[in-house]
Amino acid sequence: MLVAAGAIVPIFGFEDWEYRNLNEVLLYPGNFDESFNMEGDDKHILGMVGWGHMNGVMILSQHELRQDFLNKTGKDNTVIHEFVHLVDKSDGAIDGVPETLINHHYAVPWLKLMHEEIQKIKKGESDIDPYGASSEAEFFAVASEYFFERPELFRHKHPELYARLSNIFKPDPKI
């Protein structure tokens, strides 16, 4: 049920949306590494959308999934993060610009704003999770988590980003 709840969040404003790029969701008991191992010291992955032979597969940490929905003050949610990647991937690339949702003339301003905020994250001048500075795709997913989990705080601290994400995800999550 929590996976379905997270899946609907980014696409709630789109009447006939289908995740055409997802065939299977796997729940691992905890975190895992890049080789999908759940044992060892480097188990830092909480969720991922597969590629290559794992294309069409999403893997989530069941523990993290539960924790994200229990935490009412956090700005992150792994399942929302991974489903935002699938929304982004709907145009064929996970690149931070979901072309199926962004009107072409909004793409350049979105990229500009995204790069400005990534620089702020790198300088320690933003409250957006530092993981968002690792790439445009991760920025889009991390900022979207914050947008959906803490919309009023996000709107207050990042009004321009809030407006852009409201245009992308319709409707406004505070409604």
User: What are the pLDDT digits (tens) for 8-41?
Assistant: 999 998 888 899 989 999 998 888 888 777 877 7
Question: What pTM was computed for the model?
Answer: 0.90
More confident residue, 54 or 76: 76
More confident residue, 128 or 45: 128
The per-residue pLDDT for 171 is 60
Per the prediction, the chain carries an average pLDDT of: 90
Arithmetic mean of pLDDT, 138-146: 97
The per-residue pLDDT for 44 is 82
The per-residue pLDDT for 174 is 52
* Spatial distance between the Cα atoms of 173 and 94, rounded to a whole number of angstroms: 23
Q: CA 71 from chain center: how many Å?
A: 17
* Spatial distance between the Cα atoms of 39 and 28, rounded to a whole number of angstroms: 12
Domain range spanning residue 61? 2-169
Tell me, yes or no, whether 64 lies in a domain: yes
Arithmetic mean of pLDDT, 136-158: 97
The per-residue pLDDT for 172 is 52
The per-residue pLDDT for 84 is 96
Tell me, yes or no, whether 175 lies in a domain: no
Highest mean pLDDT among 66-75, 136-145, 160-169: 136-145
The count of structural domains within the chain is 1
The per-residue pLDDT for 10 is 94
The per-residue pLDDT for 41 is 75
* Spatial distance between the Cα atoms of 38 and 44, rounded to a whole number of angstroms: 10
CATH number of the domain that residue 57 is part of: 3.40.390.10
Q: Is the pLDDT of residue 125 over 90?
A: yes
Tell me, yes or no, whether 174 lies in a domain: no
